[in-house]
Amino acid sequence: MAKKKPADPANGSAPAARQVPMREFSRSLPMSLLRAREAVMRQFRPSLRQNGLTEQQWRILRALAAIDAVEVTELARTAFLLGPSLSRILRDLEARHLIERKTAKEDQRRSMVSISEKGVKLMAVVAPTSEAIYAEITRRFGARKLTELQEMLGELEQCLSGLGSVDEAIAEE
């Protein structure tokens, strides 16, 4: 495969065929966040996969490791998963005996979820590698810078969370 593609006349600007006026696509905030996250997750996925876990399943186990038991709704908030996704994943994790479930006595609607012994053992296997990867990322990017980045991300989240959507604010005028 020595052949070069002849074209690609300036990958940045392009001939602009039928240009609709917009920011350059690749520089949009959603894309920046998506690419950054993907770059990070690409580091973790192989290790997780080796242990038969997806990113989301790992999130759930981690969320469960810190507590005794939680209701599904609360877990969804912690692991940042939507109800339906969580519901499916819990079904699977339960079948694999990595978690346990029992309905709450005082409210039959609620289901209390907790990590099982097997789940704890699996975490003990995965955690060291996971932590090592995180440490390496921190080293490469810089610990201070990493903290700074996380603070900015938190602020961004904050300033968009409050009070209705941006969309509404715009519709007002």
- What is the binding site for DNA (CB under 7 A)? 1-3, 38, 41, 45, 49, 54-57, 71-74, 81-92, 101, 107-111
Taking CA atoms, 160 is separated from 56, 155, 167, in Å, by 24, 9, 11
Residues 6+ apart with CB under 8 A from 139: none
CB of 163 to DNA, least distance (A): 19
Q: Which is nearer to its own copies, 65 or 96 (CB)?
A: 65
Residue 51 contact among its own copies, DNA, none, beta carbon within 5 to 8 Å by kind: none
Does position 163 interact with its own copies (CB under 8 A)? The reply is: no
Does position 72 interact with its own copies (CB under 8 A)? The reply is: no
Taking CA atoms, 79 is separated from 61, 73, 74, in Å, by 9, 10, 9
Residue 109 contact among its own copies, DNA, none, beta carbon within 5 to 8 Å by kind: DNA
Taking CA atoms, 106 is separated from 30, 72, 111, 113, in Å, by 43, 15, 11, 15
State how far the Cα of 166 lies from the Cα of 168, in Å rounded to an integer: 5
Residue 56 contact among DNA, its own copies, none, beta carbon within 5 to 8 Å by kind: DNA
Q: Which is nearer to DNA, 74 or 100 (CB)?
A: 74
Residue 120 contact among its own copies, DNA, none, beta carbon within 5 to 8 Å by kind: its own copies
State how far the Cα of 24 lies from the Cα of 148, in Å rounded to an integer: 26
